[in-house]
Homo-oligomer: A and B are copies of this chain.
Amino acid sequence: MEYTVQKLGQLAGVSTRTLRYYDEIGILKPARINSSGYRIYGQSEVDRLQQILFFRELGVSLESIKQIINAPTFDSAKAMIEHREKLLEKRKQLDTLIFNVEKSIDVIGGKIMMTDKEKFEGFKQKLVDDNEKKYGKEVRDKYGEEVVNKSNNRVKGMSPEEYEEITRLGDEVLETLHIAFKTGDPAGELAQQAAELHRKWLSFYWDSYTKEAHAGIAQMYVDDERFTAYYDDKQPGTAEFLRDAVFIYTGINVK
């Protein structure tokens, strides 16, 4: 069977422009050109296009596809596995994006107010660099008091709805934490999820979140018996488990 641009386009569900473009960049050349200069595609081109679309659908760039299908002994499985890694990271990014949008909805809704200083802080994650690592050791003492005071002030100004939401989140943290605790792995998915929830929960109390402060608080839970009692309620060792999870989550070890 032979196809013109439009026929092939309809068969495969792509525009004629796309086929021309693929010809242009040398990823799919027609089998031959007829006397009128028309592009004529044959069976092998159909198959090749099929392969191209397959990879394209998976989000692989045309340049990469070119390499893939041109390589004589291409290890496509390996490439796919690598590609999957990329996608998983993309999804992670998207998840934090969604989280931020949701937070911003609250901000705009007036539930959370931001100070002028906080404004830029959020965007400068890169700047949370070595310079700040130095504070790591002192962060517990430093944040210990400060945060408690801040938080108290925070809570006073909350609406009933906000309070409700926070309570729910807090419960969710505990729930996830207890399930995660059974796995025994603070680096596991569940434990990291608990750490994430804990961060969300904290964000309700804090003007600005920093990894350092988060790690500091987690350590505080272990050191301060009032907090330890709260988290170890059902399962002794939970506070420590949470701390370890948060250390991994934040990538910061305060100890």
Contact = CB atoms under 8 A, between A and B. Distances in A.
A123 B179 contact: no
Overall SS of chain A's interface: helix
Interface stretch (A17-25, A84-92, A133-141, A229-237): A84-92
Given A11-B120, A80-B108, 17 more contacts: A12-B120, A13-B124, A13-B126, A13-B127, A53-B123, A57-B97, A57-B122, A57-B123, A58-B97, A76-B108, A77-B109, A87-B94, A87-B101, A90-B94, A91-B95, A179-B179, A190-B190
Given A91-B98, A97-B59, A98-B88, A123 B81 contact: no
Contact of A179 (B57, B120, B182): B182
Contacts of A76: 108
A15 interface: no
A13 B59 CA distance: 29
Chain A interface bracket (under 10, 10 to 19, 20 to 34, 35 or more): 35 or more
Contacts of A13: 120, 123-124, 126-127
Which 6 pairs, one residue from A and one from B, show the smallest C-beta to C-beta distance?
A77-B108, A80-B105, A76-B108, A84-B101, A50-B119, A87-B98
B80 A101 contact: yes
A91 B83 CA distance: 16
Interface string A189-223: 11001000000000000000000000000000000
A104 B58 contact: yes
A187 to B, nearest CB: 15
